[in-house]
Amino acid sequence: MCQISHFVGLSGIGGVQRNFLEYINNQVISESKFVHKVYTLGEIDPQYKLLVEVYNIRKLTNLLLLILDMISRRKIVHFYNNLSSLKMAVLLFLLPVSNIILHERGTVWNIPSSRGILLRFVAWKARLILANSNATKIMLEKKFHILNKKIRVLHNGINTSIECTKRKVEHEDPPFFRIGFIGRLDAPKGVHVLIDAMHYLTDSRIKLVIAGDGTLIDILKTQAYDLENVSFIGRVSDPYNFLSGLDLLVVPSIREPLGNVCLEAGLCSIPVLATNVDGIPEIIKNKVSGELITPTQVVSFETTNNSVSIPEFTVNPLTEELSPPKQINSEILSAKILELSTSHALLRKYGKNLHKIVMNYFNINRYTNELHDIYFKM
């Protein structure tokens, strides 16, 4: 059997890691047609329950094994989010590599145009570049001039066998309308816009719960200090349990290559209100499986030195062109939340339609079949 060597960072929590975890564990359970080997660099987050051995290349012998895999003509090496890595560029420059796949899932948004030469060299050495969305493909082509013929879109897939349905909260009089955010608390996620919107909402029924952690948590808590209807619960180990308790998920991102959290909400039939930017509308169809708000305002949030920065460009999904990043108008967002809080039948329709989209297309089996077809053709 052909060996597939995967190199993926496992120290942080994000869509890349969750998608990879679901794929690789499913391969172990289902007796894959390939032999899989997993490499990483650095610590592994204890939240991850991997069913395969992981080789940390901080150990010299493991680094040598990875190098041998990279130069082998009979092995495929699949790198996740390594396009901008200087170490990757050095390795590819020094080695006569053969079957290298680079899987881009969003790092190119944060790479300055000045590093385009490095990125184009890494892309040139790769046999194939996978993009997790059409927006990512556009960013690679138009910001860094990567050849179209070398890029293939492979949308993420999630494990749809997980049972997730909306939970009823008992003994509430009057019943609350729970909106939520889950993800990293950094500037591009736009949480500051959502908190600002809550200042305009005087309806005491509407509660916002923010799940996640990040460098901006203290700044965001300060922004929300006088809001009794906003609570921070930190990082959650089970996103589906969190999502199932919501009436509406809000994704106010300034940039979002795809939006894995929208898929997870869809599995739970939870409707989504999101920014119309980058890859989000590849999941959320406006007025069909959720609602989208076009960002119109200049980004007003100042980032800290340790935070993920606001990118140079985002993808306008209407024109498929690059444009300076913008954020949602918080007054428009608050008005839309208030409107949806009384539109129960509409929200049920959105949740049901999003669930169908996830089950029929954004599932781990479709993702696996497409990926294996790529492996076989290599």
Q: What is the DSSP string of 15-30?
A: HHHHHHHHHHHHHHHT
Residue 169 inside a domain? The answer is: no
Report which residue type is found at 274.
A
pLDDT for position 202: 86
pLDDT surpasses 80 at 77:
yes
Write the pLDDT tens digit of every residue in 30-62.
777 899 999 998 888 777 778 889 999 999 999
Whether 315 and 230 share a structural domain = yes
Whether 275 and 298 share a structural domain = yes
pTM recorded for the entire structure: 0.92
Using CA atoms, how far apart are residues 342 and 322, in angstroms rounded to an integer?
36
Q: Tell me the average pLDDT of the chain.
A: 90
Whether 185 and 142 share a structural domain = no
Residue 58 inside a domain? The answer is: yes
pLDDT surpasses 60 at 261:
yes
Which comes out higher in pLDDT, residue 18 or 156? Answer: 156
pLDDT surpasses 60 at 171:
no
Who's near 72: CB < 8 A, 6+ residues apart? 98, 99
pLDDT for position 83: 63
Structure tokens at 213: 């952690």
pLDDT for position 309: 82
pLDDT surpasses 80 at 84:
no
Write the pLDDT tens digit of every residue in 274-306.
999 999 999 999 999 999 999 999 998 765 555
Whether 190 and 131 share a structural domain = no
**Residue 318's Cα: distance from chain center in Å?**
21
Whether 140 and 240 share a structural domain = no
pLDDT surpasses 90 at 17:
no
Whether 247 and 295 share a structural domain = yes
Report which residue type is found at 39.
Y
The range of the structural domain enclosing residue 267 comes to 177-360
Whether 247 and 315 share a structural domain = yes
**Residue 76's Cα: distance from chain center in Å?**
24
Whether 184 and 124 share a structural domain = no
Whether 356 and 367 share a structural domain = no
- For residues 368 and 235, the answer to whether their CB atoms sit within 8 Å is no
Structure tokens at 305: 């030195």
Whether 370 and 352 share a structural domain = no
pLDDT for position 61: 96
pLDDT for position 330: 96
What is the tally of structural domains in the chain? Answer: 2
Using CA atoms, how far apart are residues 120 and 38, in angstroms rounded to an integer?
26
CATH, residue 24: 3.40.50.2000
Whether 150 and 197 share a structural domain = no
Write the pLDDT tens digit of every residue in 86-141.
667 677 777 888 899 999 988 889 888 877 887 888 888 889 999 999 999 999 99
Percentage of the chain beyond pLDDT 90 is 68
Whether 229 and 297 share a structural domain = yes
Write the pLDDT tens digit of every residue in 329-368.
999 999 999 999 999 999 999 999 999 999 999 999 999 9
pLDDT surpasses 80 at 174:
no
pLDDT surpasses 80 at 249:
yes
Which comes out higher in pLDDT, residue 162 or 14? Answer: 162
Per the document, the length of the chain is: 378
Residue 344 inside a domain? The answer is: yes
